[in-house]
């Protein structure tokens, strides 16, 4: 059955649908970047809330600034902005149709429709998922880069912005001019201090064209930090077939693990939906949850991804079924990551790590190793290098994390241990491949990428351990090197 409002009363037995009148919903949140994660996470929480009869004036309006956003808009519009969400559980998959999104702004090069939608006083929260690498942060300094060509272009033409941040700024300027209260800007991306990073981007962009507006944004606009978590694979033929197995024709269904978590600072001057009623944690200690998740989970993904990629393993659950990779993950986590994660309220880090092993091992997710290897140049500085630095600060040389860096370098050389070509898998792939190839004979060249390693790459102990690990991987292969490391024989 083609997914639509009229189909909701005919869903197959066992498929949950919205238990509320979608026609009664009114918009309160505009979300930029309607990808799979948003539809499996924020949209699901809101769907749950609406099902309780709460927050019906906080419905979602979708938006975007890229060509892929326009394609998503077309696909969702054809099914009345409904989404099929399938939880992949080894004990039995579950499907639901969510109805929290009630519209999707036209995607335009100058973002005029998006700016107008955000200027509407009904919109009290603008949320966004634009990926970890979409915030124009200079990897070398860790702060907003006002010299990026996209930002320079928006600064020169603030009335016709091409970026999400330019559109947000233009809408805030319109509300200020009209005497309207600003909306809250809520990042749902997976990066440390996401609210602070978003604030830096919006205020930094404003400084290029209007210092007074920049000051007003800094003083009056809220940017709460948040931590988000749910493993959500990409959609392809398998996912569409899963939707069809539940009797639903959906061009863009979402699959995800059963687990989900959302932790937020309670800083919403324009109001917010009562999301605590559906499991969202509001706390001033977001940074502690964030450090736990980014280092243990996202860092863990990197730990299993690069050796698996080099050994031609396709899926995360297959990697976890390999005793060697599972042991590598456990040793690095327990020796070099978990001991440096600050305590989290009401949370056992040991139990959290055990949950991560269980989640990674879920065979229903079929999360690809290639997806986990994606965009290392943006992810390594956020997920791995901070743990490496913490070890060094405590006087320990983290040989496991350094070995992981060597595995990433070897992966970026572009072939697996068996000689299979690795297709480009990073926005900076050409540069990474050239550097990885040169590092085979001069390992310091890899660590010399200051935008990734900073001063850490100049540490003599790091350089020596990295050179040993990289040479061993090229000489003896990934599996042999991991066997020695796990057995305590070094690399």
Query: Are residues 322 and 275 both part of a single domain?
Result: no
Same domain, 313 and 259: no
pLDDT at 138: 85
> Are 334 and 223 found together in one domain?
no
The pLDDT of residue 489:
92
Please tell me the predicted confidence (pLDDT) of residue 140: 72
- Asked, for residue 40, whether it belongs to a domain, the answer is yes
Q: Which of 284, 311, 346 is the last residue of a domain?
A: 284
Both 245 and 300 in one domain: the answer is no
373 and 416 fall within a common domain:
yes
pTM: 0.90
Last residue of a domain, one of 284, 313, 328: 284
Residues 280 and 294 occupy one common structural domain: no
**Is 408 found in the same domain as 351?**
yes
Q: What is the pLDDT of residue 133?
A: 82
User: Does 224 lie in the same domain as 331?
Assistant: no
Report, in angstroms and rounded to the nearest whole number, the Rg of the chain calculated over CA atoms.
23
What's the confidence (pLDDT) of residue 131?
A: 86
pLDDT at 231: 93
Cα–Cα nearest to 49, from 32, 28, 35, 73: 28
* Angstrom distance (rounded) from CA 82 to CA 76: 7
Q: How many domains does the chain have?
A: 2
Name the domain boundary from 230, 259, 284: 284
Q: Give the orientation angle of helix 349-360 with respect to helix 323-332, to 10 degrees.
A: 150
Residues 296 and 336 in one domain: yes
CATH number at residue 257: 3.40.50.720
Answer yes or no: do 204 and 130 share one domain: yes
List the CATH number of the domain containing 362: 1.10.1040.10
- Is 67 contained in some domain? yes
Domain shared by 383 and 476, yes or no: yes
Question: Containing H/E element for 74?
Answer: helix 67-77
Q: Quick check: is 491 in a domain? A: no
Tens digit of each residue's pLDDT (9 = 90 or more) over 18-59: 999 999 999 999 999 999 999 999 999 999 999 999 999 999
Positions in the chain whose pLDDT score sits under 50? none
Phi and psi (nearest 5°) for 228?
-125, 150
State both tokens at 397.
């040389």
Domain range spanning residue 475?
A: 287-486
Same domain, 243 and 312: no
* Measured distance CA(192)–CA(379) in Å, rounded: 11
Q: In what order do the strands lie in the sheet with 226-229?
A: 226-229, 261-264, 281-282
């Amino acid at each position: 059955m083609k997914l639509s409002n009229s189909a909701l009363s005919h869903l197959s037995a066992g498929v949950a649908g919205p238990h509320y009148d979608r026609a009664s919903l009114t918009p309160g949140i505009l979300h930029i970047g309607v990808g799979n994660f948003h539809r499996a996470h924020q949209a699901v929480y809101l769907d749950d809330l609406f099902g309780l009869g709460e927050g019906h004036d906080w419905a979602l309006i979708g938006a975007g600034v890229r060509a892929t956003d326009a394609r998503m808009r077309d696909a969702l519009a054809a099914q009345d902005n409904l989404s099929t969400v399938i939880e992949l559980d080894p004990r039995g998959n579950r499907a639901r149709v969510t109805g929290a999104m009630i519209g999707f702004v036209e995607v335009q090069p100058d973002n005029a429709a998006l700016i107008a939608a955000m200027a509407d006083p009904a919109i009290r929260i603008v949320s966004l998922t634009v990926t970890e690498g979409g915030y124009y942060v200079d990897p070398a300094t860790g702060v907003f880069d006002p010299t990026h060509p996209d930002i320079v272009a928006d600064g020169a033409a603030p009335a016709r912005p091409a970026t999400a941040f330019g559109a947000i700024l233009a809408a805030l300027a319109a509300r200020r001019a009209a005497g309207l209260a600003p909306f809250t800007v809520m990042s749902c991306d997976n990066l440390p201090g996401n609210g602070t990073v978003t604030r830096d981007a919006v205020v930094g962009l404003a400084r290029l064209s209007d210092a007074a507006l920049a000051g007003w944004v800094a003083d009056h606009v809220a940017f709460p930090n948040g931590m988000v978590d749910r493993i959500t694979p990409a959609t392809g033929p398998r996912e569409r077939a899963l939707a069809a197995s539940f009797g639903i024709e959906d061009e863009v269904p979402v699959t995800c693990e059963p687990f989900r978590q959302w932790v937020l600072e309670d800083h919403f001057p324009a109001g917010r939906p009562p999301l605590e009623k559906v499991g969202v944690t509001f706390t001033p200690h977001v940074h502690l949850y964030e450090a736990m998740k980014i280092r243990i989970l996202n860092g863990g993904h990197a730990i299993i991804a690069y050796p698996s990629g080099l050994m031609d393993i396709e899926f995360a659950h297959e990697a976890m079924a390999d005793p060697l990779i599972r042991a590598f993950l456990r040793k690095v986590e327990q020796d070099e990551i978990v001991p440096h994660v600050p305590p989290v309220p009401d949370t056992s880090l040991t139990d959290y790590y055990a949950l991560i092993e269980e989640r990674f091992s879920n065979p229903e997710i079929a999360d690809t190793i290639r997806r986990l290897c994606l965009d290392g140049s943006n992810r390594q500085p956020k997920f791995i290098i901070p743990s490496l630095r913490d070890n060094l600060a405590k006087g320990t040389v983290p040989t496991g994390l350094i070995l992981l860096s060597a595995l990433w370098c070897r992966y970026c050389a572009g072939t697996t241990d068996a000689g299979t070509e690795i297709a480009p898998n990073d926005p900076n792939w050409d540069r990474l491949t050239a550097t990885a190839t040169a590092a085979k004979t001069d390992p310091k060249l890899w660590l010399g990428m200051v935008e990734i390693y900073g001063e850490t790459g100049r540490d003599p102990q790091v350089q020596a351990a990295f050179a040993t690990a990289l040479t061993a991987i090229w000489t003896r292969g990934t599996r042999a090197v991991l066997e020695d490391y796990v057995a305590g024989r070094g690399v």
